[in-house]
Amino acid sequence: MKKLTTAAGLLLLLLLLWAGWQAAYRPAPLPQAAKLSSAPAAYPPDMWKRAARVTSIRLTRGGELPTGLTWQNGAQEPEIGDPAARKGGRVRRCNVGPFPANFLAFGSPQAQFFHYNLFTAIDVPLLRRHPVTGNSIPGTACRWSISGRAVWFEIDAAARYSNGRPVRAADYVLGTLLRIEAGCADALLSAAEELRVVGANTLCLTLRSETLQPELAAAALLSAAEPGFYAEFGSDFRKRYAQRIPPTTGAYTVGRVERGRMVELVRVKNWWAKDRRYYRYTCNADAVEHHFPTDEAQAWELLLRGKLDMLQTRNISAWQQRTAEAPPQLHRHVFHAEYPMPPYGIILNARTLPCPHLRRGLMHAMDMDRAVQVICRGEGERLRTFASGYGELTPRNTPFYRFSPAAAGAAFARAGFTRPGKDGILMNERGERLSVTLTYTPHEKISTLVSILAQSAAKCGAEIVTHAVPWQTAGRKTGSGAHQLLFWADMAGSPFPDYRRFFMSADSPFGINDTELNSAVSDCEQARSREQLAAAMAAADTRIAELCIWLPGWQENVVRLICHPHIRFPNCENCRFSTPSPYEAEDAHLYWVDFSPVKP
């Protein structure tokens, strides 16, 4: 009897431990957007009064449509995706990076790398650029018209948010107003002078100057805000809305969340664009799980154990080693892409390193060519210009600084560093060492790169102190302008480079305010032809090089992907992954799940 009592006690203890474990590790439900509703929510009662107080752009309503507008609908472009694609299934993907600290659609206090997967890659904007032809295609706007600097949009009457509410023209005014109040509307305010709503479904954005493809330029500046979701918006919105899921116009919204481990995107029930011409063969999986392993080595292990369905990488070293060890039934893909490249490289902050001769010396002292060859196993391609991947628009003759101890020494001498110390590091007449700090986020590849750069600089008389910090810290340093050298990359502008955001915004990491560069940036924004834009881009990139504020790194235009055989990719003329290709293999959401036998 005593043994039975002891066994029962142990069983009870085990049950209590199991319940405690479940409570501790069960994914916490996130506060979601409003429940599904087809009725539009009311706008804030003071919305237009608040809009009237904005002086940086006119936010207006009323009036009539101009007569003689010529409307376009983009119906002549080829479809996107493969008609053979199947709907359904679950796909498990990998995000080797930080788990999102918040789900804010805008105004995050720190950089959110998952923002791209959560919003950019799936949301439907007013208009989209066709990934093959480069022409405009419908989004939430079913048609558009251009009249001088004014671009008119008619909202698709069927467009809906993921919470079921309709998308209306004034939602874009609300989205603009909220971003202005949050202090994150610099691009819009510098490029547009008026946003006007006419009726329930028509809006007009008047740009400050005429430009190429003005409908795409205007659409890229505007984002809708569903008024019911933002009904509690205020000065504390960053805290209040941090873990709420904003309604989107895309095929997916956030479902299950395992903090620090996984974010699930689930298909929006009865997605409004599921039968639309340019969307019906996209976003095929019912659910997409984004997993967050600690590093890429763990991601490979999860893939081989069947815990991930596919893994995309640009790590050539890992690819060469791991694919040789992987089972032969896994499918290997190598995609060569031609699209705007993130500008990987080293920032030289002109605010903390004001001497141009010193910056020029550092440009010559860091042997980026050797570093790229080492980390890319001889397959890497060195960047030659800040704006790369824009086809015929990409600058071809940007000045280039190669590793040269002689040129570095001459520049350092002009900066006043002429006397070598006992360890070979140069000093000036005041006995100050030529020492700068290079901040970076640790990663196997990046750590190797900065080590090589520091070694080469030491041979030229410059000490580079490498400072590894978490990405959140690096983001704060960038925003505060406290860095000297910084390994950096950001999303490239599309369809044209966004020089203003990189070099002329208040939180620009380059710390530069140069009249000649500013003029070139303005010329880019006001170009009336592709020839004018190409010339302005060349001038901007040349000036960036002359200022010695950015050392180009490498471009990652080769994407390697390995997946289990049930993951299929398109094989049709308008979506083939070939050279050149406009697609990111995973992010385009053109794949699908198919467990039928693979034909030999």
Q: Is the pLDDT of residue 63 over 60?
A: yes
Task: State residue 507's pLDDT score.
Answer: 74
The H or E element that residue 332 is part of is strand 331-336
The two tokens of residue 188 are 């819009």
**Topology at the third CATH level for domain 345-555:** Dipeptide-binding Protein; domain 3 (3.10.105)
Q: For 252-335+559-593, give the CATH class.
A: alpha beta
Query: Coil, strand or helix: which one is 127?
Result: strand
Q: What are 238-275's pLDDT values in tens digits?
A: 999 999 999 999 999 999 999 999 999 999 999 999 99
Model confidence at 337, pLDDT cuts 50, 70, 90, reads low
Task: State residue 2's pLDDT score.
Answer: 47
Contact of 93 with 313, CB cutoff 8 Å = no
Q: Is the pLDDT of residue 33 over 60?
A: no
Give the chain's length. 600
Q: How far is the CA of 153 from the CAs of 171, 218, 219, in angstroms? A: 13, 10, 9
Backbone angles phi, psi at 437, to 5 degrees: -110, 130
- DSSP labels for 230-276? GGG-STTHHHHTTTS----SSSEEEEEEETTTEEEEEEPTT-TTTTS
Task: State residue 583's pLDDT score.
Answer: 53
Model confidence at 7, pLDDT cuts 50, 70, 90, reads low
Distance CA 288, CA 157 (A): 28
Task: Look at strands 381-382 and 592-593 and give their pairing.
Answer: unpaired
The two tokens of residue 453 are 């750069």
Task: State residue 30's pLDDT score.
Answer: 42
The two tokens of residue 218 are 């205007």
Closest CA to 151 of 78, 192, 204, 187: 204
Q: Is the pLDDT of residue 1 over 50?
A: no
Model confidence at 352, pLDDT cuts 50, 70, 90, reads very high
User: Which long-range contacts does 424-429 make (Cβ < 8 Å, 24+ apart)?
Assistant: 424/458, 424/459, 424/461, 425/458, 425/461, 425/462, 425/463, 426/461, 426/462
Contact of 394 with 383, CB cutoff 8 Å = no
Task: State residue 363's pLDDT score.
Answer: 97
Mean pLDDT (the chain) is 87
Kindly state the average pLDDT of the residues 380-399: 87
Task: State residue 32's pLDDT score.
Answer: 44
Task: State residue 176's pLDDT score.
Answer: 97
Contact of 308 with 299, CB cutoff 8 Å = yes
Closest CA to 245 of 35, 25, 26, 475: 35
Q: Is the pLDDT of residue 415 over 80?
A: yes
CA angle 65, 66, 69 (to 5 degrees): 105
Q: Is the pLDDT of residue 572 over 60?
A: no
Residue 51, burial from CB neighbour count under 10 angstroms (0-12, 13-18, 19+)? buried
Task: State residue 277's pLDDT score.
Answer: 94
Max CA separation in the chain (angstroms): 95
Task: State residue 497's pLDDT score.
Answer: 87
Distance CA 160, CA 166 (A): 4
Task: State residue 584's pLDDT score.
Answer: 65
Task: State residue 6's pLDDT score.
Answer: 53
Torsion angle (degrees, nearest 10) of CA 478, 481, 484, 485: 20
Contact of 207 with 217, CB cutoff 8 Å = yes
Q: Is the pLDDT of residue 418 over 90?
A: yes
Task: State residue 182's pLDDT score.
Answer: 95
Task: State residue 26's pLDDT score.
Answer: 38
Query: Coil, strand or helix: which one is 128?
Result: strand
Closest CA to 263 of 88, 101, 474: 101
Q: Which residue has the tokens 């000065």?
A: 235
Q: Is the pLDDT of residue 420 over 60?
A: yes
Model confidence at 388, pLDDT cuts 50, 70, 90, reads confident
Kindly state the average pLDDT of the residues 169-179: 97
Task: State residue 17's pLDDT score.
Answer: 47
Model confidence at 18, pLDDT cuts 50, 70, 90, reads very low
Q: Is the pLDDT of residue 13 over 80?
A: no
Q: Which residue has the tokens 């302008």?
A: 481
Closest CA to 164 of 273, 286, 43, 272: 272
Q: Where are the alpha helices (DSSP H) in 36-118?
A: 47-52, 115
Q: Where are the domains of the chain?
A: 47-83+100-240, 252-335+559-593, 345-555
Share in percent of the chain as helix, strand, coil (round to 5):
30, 20, 50
The residue type found at 499 is Y
Kindly state the average pLDDT of the residues 513-540: 93
Distance CA 412, CA 407 (A): 9
**Of 5-19, 81-95, 460-474, the least confident:** 5-19
Model confidence at 560, pLDDT cuts 50, 70, 90, reads confident
Task: State residue 34's pLDDT score.
Answer: 42
Percent of the chain with pLDDT over 90: 63
Q: Where are the alpha helices (DSSP H) in 281-334?
A: 296-304, 316-325
Q: What are 192-231's pLDDT values in tens digits?
A: 999 999 999 999 999 998 888 999 999 999 999 999 999 9
The two tokens of residue 569 are 């990719």
Q: Which residue has the higher pLDDT, 376 or 591?
A: 591
Pick the CATH number of 47-83+100-240 from 3.90.76.10, 3.30.950.10, 3.40.640.10, 3.40.1710.10: 3.90.76.10
Q: Which residue has the higher pLDDT, 381 or 383?
A: 383
Q: Is the pLDDT of residue 374 over 50?
A: yes
Closest CA to 401 of 539, 547, 556, 555: 547
